[in-house]
């Protein structure tokens, strides 16, 4: 049989030409299982398009391969289920010996696909097959029920729960369950459906120790939190692996209504109520302290009004909530805490210092300037094969002077990367999604006429490519960091060079911001190195200033020549960087440049020519170094799913 007839069969099938297909099937020697250039057979095409009559005609051919796989390892049944072609699915299921539980490369079966995509009638048709595996899971451990729940498919969840033997508490590889996933996304109706199942484990935890209540509280899903709190067995004071409770997460993230719902929890059956003073063991942080640090005044007030609150509690370093509010410049929050009867105003904590300067735009430029010596090491780290997509990695290694594929429009490249990721997958809350889209539109409008240099294109394109090659958690934090910092610094109207360049610089610096958030819990080796590089807990300017403040009292230094004093300071700063785990390749060059700026001071051991000016180096602290003083968290990472 000539290849042309086989090609005609595939083309006719794809286009839904039933009579042509029937005529070709009658030709002696026709290969019903022939594949097109993309590896699809006629049956797969017909099933994908929902051409049921053609599917039936093909199935009548004795040698038909009903389980043949095409792209992604998907069979005709899988594609028909994915697209919700129920009649086609039924026709395929009637074929003797069809593998109803076959999986594609990601481990998805026809049932998982149909449930995930919200194909209710197709799910019902598949469940009518006696051998269907209702608890089958894809490669990441998520079952049809779990995916339907997390994606808001209420009717399908109800259909699946009616199947005998369904595992309502099944877990994914990260320990998440249908309840945890739906609670995280604020799908209250589905949460209530799941809670009605007698065997539901309302306190189930994922591998990071997060329960459904914690996930809902962290995201500010107040209605979902209230639904969970109505369950008699709910553990309102459960802690994650970092020792943080639902109340602590809600307070930290500024979800006032959620905090109020948790504070209103008042069981009448002898169970303990909310522990408002709960703290983590590692740092000693508590809800009031976290809300104060973030400047969430309404939450601070709600917590202060709660009976039994300890408003003078301190962390393991002696910092109170008042100290945290002061140190971050949250004046109204500090005022509310200071008015609290019995507030410790004499010794509020070691961090009760003057409010911080907020010249964000200026400091972004300063942070980027200080970042320049680190660029070679930064580019090396973000080009690691384990942490970027293979095609991007190969490009970075083989063509180091090229950006990515055929990027002629640098700004359009950036826009595309962001717009395809600012989606409901990363921001399931519609209001939050709309806000992110609007914010990016405002920021992008300021840079669309910017003519980047070749060096800028290299750095920014590789930074953006790296960020969007990571998992959803990282991509989400990167987008949030970029928008928050760009909009905070450049919210004004109109165009100016400083504004535009600052936004361009943020594309790289926001990688550091995202890594910093991820690494407050846990991070891999590359993230750890990036965090150390971009967010050092060591400030050259601060350490140098402190050295000068003590040098003139040191007799050994006093006897040295200016040249030896300079060498001593450089050696001291390098040692300090190593001691604080902030040493990286290139920091010695950066130290040398910073020390060179105060070369005049080694003669008199005085910065600026006198005692009053010795804080001049401190005054140049970047916003990034100031933010390093935020509440610390244990090194375990929150993970999101689907």
SS (H, E, C) 534-568: HCCCCCHHHHHHHHHHHHCCCHHHHCCCHHHHHHH
pLDDT of residue 631: 56
Q: Which positions ≥6 away from 182 have C-beta within 8 Å?
A: 149, 150, 152, 190, 191, 194, 212
The pLDDT of residue 598 is 82
The per-residue pLDDT for 60 is: 95
**Is 0.85 topped by the overall pTM?**
no
What integer is the mean pLDDT of 184-197?
A: 96
Q: How confident is the model at residue 498 (pLDDT cuts 50, 70, 90)?
A: low
Distances in whole angstroms, Cα of residue 44 to Cα of each of 18, 57, 68, 219: 15, 13, 8, 41
Q: What is the pLDDT of residue 234?
A: 94
- Higher pLDDT residue, 87 or 378? 87
| Residue 227's pLDDT band (cuts 50, 70, 90) | very high
Banded model confidence at residue 180, pLDDT cuts 50, 70, 90 = very high
pLDDT digits (tens, 9 = 90+) for 523-554: 888 888 888 788 776 778 778 888 888 887 78
pLDDT above 50: residue 407: no
> Would the pLDDT of 53 be above 70?
yes
Closest alpha carbon to 590 in 543, 628, 626, 552: 543
Question: In the chain, what is the greatest distance between 2 CA atoms, to the nearest angstrom?
Answer: 104
Mean pLDDT across 256-264: 95
Q: pLDDT tens-digit profile of 261-283?
A: 999 998 867 778 899 999 998 89
Q: Is 314 helix (H, G, I), strand (E, B) or coil?
A: strand
Is a pLDDT exceeding 80 seen at residue 371? no
- Tell me how many degrees the CA angle 379-385-391 measures, rounded to the nearest 5: 95
**d(Cα 487, Cα 485) in Å, to the nearest integer?**
6
Task: Reply yes or no on whether the pLDDT at 586 is more than 80.
Answer: no
Cα–Cα distance between 500 and 254 in angstroms, integer? 30
Residue 373 has pLDDT above 50, yes or no: yes
pLDDT, position 364: 54
pLDDT greater at residue 341 or residue 156: 156
Give the residue with greater pLDDT, 368 vs 85.
85
**Highest mean pLDDT range out of 409-423, 425-439, 612-626?**
425-439
More confident residue, 286 or 505: 286
Q: Is the pLDDT of residue 175 over 90?
A: yes
Confidence of residue 619 (pLDDT cuts 50, 70, 90): very low
Query: Does 413 have pLDDT greater than 90?
Result: no
Q: Which pLDDT does position 460 carry in this prediction? A: 86
Is pLDDT above 80 for 132? yes
Tell me, letter by letter, the H, E, C secondary structure of 560-606: CCHHHHHHHHHHHHHHHHHHCCCCCCCHHHHHHHHHHCCHHHHCCCC
Residue 162 has pLDDT above 90, yes or no: yes
* 279-303 confidence digits (pLDDT tens): 998 899 999 999 999 999 999 999 9
Residue 361: what pLDDT?
A: 44
Q: Are 333 and 325 in contact (CB under 8 A)?
A: yes
Number of Cβ within a 10 Å radius of residue 321:
34
The predicted pLDDT at position 490 comes to 53
pLDDT at 403 over 50: no
How confident is the model at residue 581, as a pLDDT? Answer: 61
Matching CATH number, 1-131, of 3.10.580.10, 1.10.3720.10, 3.40.50.1820, 1.25.40.20: 1.25.40.20
pLDDT in tens, 63-75: 999 999 988 899 9
Residue 64 has a pLDDT of 95
User: So where are the chain's domains?
Assistant: 1-131, 360-534, 544-620
495 pLDDT higher than 50: no
Whether pLDDT at 5 is above 50: yes
User: Between these two residues, 594 and 127, which has the higher pLDDT value?
Assistant: 127
Report the pLDDT value the prediction gives residue 623, as an integer from 0 to 100.
33
Phi, psi dihedrals of residue 143, rounded to the nearest 5°: -90, 175
Q: Does 488 have pLDDT greater than 70?
A: no
What confidence score (pLDDT) does residue 584 get?
Answer: 64
How deeply is 472 buried, as exposed, middle or buried, from its count of CB atoms within 10 A (0-12, 13-18, 19+)? middle
Cβ contact 96:129 at 8 Å: no
- Residue 395's pLDDT band, with cuts at 50, 70 and 90, is very low
Cα 480 from Cα 476, distance rounded (Å): 6
**Residue 641 vs residue 595, higher pLDDT:** 595
Confidence grade of residue 520 (pLDDT, cut at 50, 70, 90)? confident
Is residue 75 classed as helix, strand or coil in its secondary structure?
Answer: strand
Confidence class of residue 365 from pLDDT cuts 50, 70 and 90?
low
Mean pLDDT to the nearest integer, 445-469: 81
Average pLDDT over residues 313-322: 88
Please provide the average confidence, as pLDDT, over all residues in the chain: 82
> Which residues neighbour 352 within 8 Å (Cβ) at sequence distance 6 or greater?
320, 322, 323, 326, 327
């Amino acid at each position: 049989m000539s290849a042309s007839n086989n090609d005609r069969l595939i083309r006719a099938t794809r286009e839904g030409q039933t009579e042509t297909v029937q005529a070709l099937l009658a030709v002696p020697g026709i290969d019903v299982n022939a594949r097109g250039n993309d590896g699809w057979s006629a049956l797969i095409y017909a099933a994908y398009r929902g051409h049921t009559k053609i599917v039936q005609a093909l199935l009548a051919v004795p040698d038909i391969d009903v389980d043949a796989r095409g792209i992604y390892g998907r069979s005709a049944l899988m594609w028909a289920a994915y697209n919700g072609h129920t009649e086609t699915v039924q026709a395929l299921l009637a074929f003797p010996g069809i593998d109803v539980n076959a999986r594609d490369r990601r481990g998805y079966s026809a049932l998982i696909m149909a449930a995930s995509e919200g194909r209710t009638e197709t799910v019902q048709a598949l469940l009518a097959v006696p051998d269907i595996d209702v608890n089958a899971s894809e490669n990441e451990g998520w079952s049809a029920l779990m995916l339907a729940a997390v994606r808001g498919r209420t009717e399908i969840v109800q259909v699946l729960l009616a199947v005998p033997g369904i595992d309502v508490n099944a877990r994914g590889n990260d320990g998440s369950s249908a309840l945890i996933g739906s609670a995280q996304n604020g799908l209250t109706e589905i949460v209530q459906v799941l809670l009605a199942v007698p065997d539901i484990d309302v306190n189930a935890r994922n591998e990071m120790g997060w329960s459904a209540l914690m996930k809902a509280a962290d995201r500010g899903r107040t209605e979902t939190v209230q639904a969970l709190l109505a369950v008699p067995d709910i553990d309102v004071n459960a802690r994650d692996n970092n020792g943080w409770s639902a109340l602590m997460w809600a307070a930290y993230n500024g979800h006032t209504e959620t905090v109020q719902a948790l504070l209103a929890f008042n069981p009448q059956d002898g169970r303990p109520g909310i522990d408002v003073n709960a703290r983590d063991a590692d740092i000693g942080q508590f809800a009031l302290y976290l809300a104060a640090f973030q400047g969430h005044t309404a939450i601070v007030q709600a917590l202060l009004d709660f009976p039994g609150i300890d408003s003078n509690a301190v962390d393991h370093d002696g910092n109170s909530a008042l100290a945290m509010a002061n140190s971050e410049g949250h004046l109204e929050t500090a005022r509310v805490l200071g008015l609290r009867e019995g507030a410790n105003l004499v010794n509020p904590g070691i961090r009760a210092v003057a409010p911080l300067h907020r010249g964000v735009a200026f400091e972004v430029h300063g942070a980027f300037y200080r970042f320049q010596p680190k660029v070679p090491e930064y580019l090396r780290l973000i080009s690691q094969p384990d942490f970027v997509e293979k095609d991007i990695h190969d490009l970075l290694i083989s063509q180091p002077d090229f950006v990515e594929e055929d990027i002629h429009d640098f700004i359009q490249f950036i826009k595309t990367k962001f717009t395809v990721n600012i989606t409901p997958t990363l921001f399931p809350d519609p209001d939050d999604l709309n806000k992110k889209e609007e914010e990016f539109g405002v920021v992008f409008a300021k840079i669309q006429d910017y003519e980047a240099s070749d060096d800028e294109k290299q750095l920014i394109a590789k930074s953006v490519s790296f960020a969007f090659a990571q998992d959803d958690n990282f991509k989400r934090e990167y987008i949030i960091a970029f928008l928050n910092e760009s909009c905070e610094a450049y919210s004004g109207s109109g165009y100016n060079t400083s504004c535009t360049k600052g936004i361009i610089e943020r594309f790289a610096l926001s990688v550091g911001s995202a890594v910093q958030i991820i690494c407050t819990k846990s991070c891999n080796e590359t993230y750890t190195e990036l965090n150390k590089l971009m967010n050092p807990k060591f400030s050259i300017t601060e350490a140098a200033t402190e050295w000068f403040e003590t040098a003139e009292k040191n007799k050994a230094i006093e006897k040295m020549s200016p040249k030896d004093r300079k060498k001593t300071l450089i050696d001291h700063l390098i040692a300090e960087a190593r001691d604080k785990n902030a040493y990286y390749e290139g920091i010695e060059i950066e130290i040398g440049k910073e020390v060179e700026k105060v070369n005049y001071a080694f003669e008199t051991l005085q910065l600026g020519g006198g005692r009053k000016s010795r804080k001049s180096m401190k005054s140049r602290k970047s916003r990034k170094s100031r933010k390093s003083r935020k509440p610390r968290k244990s090194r375990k990472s929150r993970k999101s799913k689907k």
